[in-house]
A and B are shown apart, each in its own frame.
Chain A
């Protein structure tokens, strides 16, 4: 009960944020909790980051740095918001050396594309062509917090 109360207060406070209110609102809505991480290995964000770094030893230094920035935000969500909001996702290193973190939802495909240099990109492509897709780029020192929220939204 106490935890529920704290959750309500936290949600209320975070929802008032001008920049991120709508993202916090969606993230703190419990109806999708079943899709959150269930694998015990990935309960620990740091361990998942290590697994990715171990699996793809050819990653460029830029990609390793960007991964660190992204997982730092994932960890903040886990520690300060709710670990159940970290929904499962997959990763893949393609032939062009782009590291993909991606989620397939019922309605769309969401990718964080970590290029070998320069920038990373966020892409959300709905299956329904009537709904607008999203694409934007983030450079070092960019807004990784919003990126993390968008990745786990929907």
Chain B
């Protein structure tokens, strides 16, 4: 199976090079034949708003559900969105498809699907939260926002993206940004952990300080 997949991927890449198959978004066509067409992006643009009642699907380790603080990361947390009421984009199990062409398997069989329901959003139908911290006489603002960011092989793909003072937190810069800010990092993790435990994305909910 692994060899066949690699051959198929190599063939599609050669085809892309020969026929320059980029679509109008500048995004490469999905090279993975096992991904159903309904999940591929083709020319579809991102949908900038979310709906209350919409679901987010995420593949996660069973241990993450037990205690999310054990393994959750706050950089580019990927989910699939179920789509707006009038246009369903995917089923929960679609999130188990492997969309990394470099890996020789089609499904993440060691993961489970974690489903979150959006129960409230901002006035402009987004999820966006800010967390502040003062350290060494400097003010820091951490922002987490849910963004629809289609991948060529997974149109419903979206991420919880984090910024610190307007700089996007990535795996490469996290040591210089979020890792130095214990309060913001913990608040972000607590927000994500509460989503997993309550199975909800709630713009209006916040923890109390007893």
Q: Which residue numbers of A lie inside 8 Å of B, CB to CB? A: 92, 94-96, 98, 100, 102, 104, 109, 111, 113, 115-119, 121, 123, 125-129, 132-137, 150
Contact = CB atoms under 8 A, between A and B. Distances in A.
Contacts of A132: 207-208
Contacts of B209: 134-136
27 contacts: A94-B69, A96-B185, A102-B67, A102-B69, A109-B67, A115-B182, A116-B182, A117-B182, A118-B183, A119-B183, A121-B186, A123-B193, A125-B194, A126-B197, A126-B198, A128-B198, A129-B205, A132-B208, A133-B190, A133-B207, A134-B208, A135-B186, A135-B207, A135-B208, A136-B209, A136-B210, A137-B183
A96 B179 contact: yes
B183 A125 contact: no
A59 to B, nearest CB: 15
Contacts of B200: 129
Contact of B69 (A113, A118, A133): A113
A98 B193 CA distance: 15
A94 B71 contact: yes
A79 B162 CA distance: 45
Given A129-B199, A134-B208, 5 more contacts: A98-B69, A100-B69, A113-B189, A123-B190, A125-B190
A92 B210 contact: no
Contact of B187 (A126, A135, A150): A135
A111 B193 CA distance: 11
A129 B198 contact: yes
Contacts of B194: 125, 133
Nearest to B178: A96
Interface string B115-157: 0000100000000000000010000000000000000000000
Nearest to B63: A92
A109 B69 CA distance: 10
Given A135-B207, A135-B209, A118 B70 contact: no
B210 A95 contact: no
A127 B197 contact: yes
A117 to B, nearest CB: 6
Interface in B152-195: 179, 182-183, 185-187, 189-190, 193-194
A109 B194 CA distance: 9
Given A115-B182, A127-B197, A133-B194, A100 B70 contact: yes
A49 to B, nearest CB: 21
A102 B208 CA distance: 19
Contacts of A129: 119, 198-200, 202, 205
A111 B207 contact: no
B67 A115 contact: no
B103 interface: no
B86 interface: no
A40 to B, nearest CB: 25
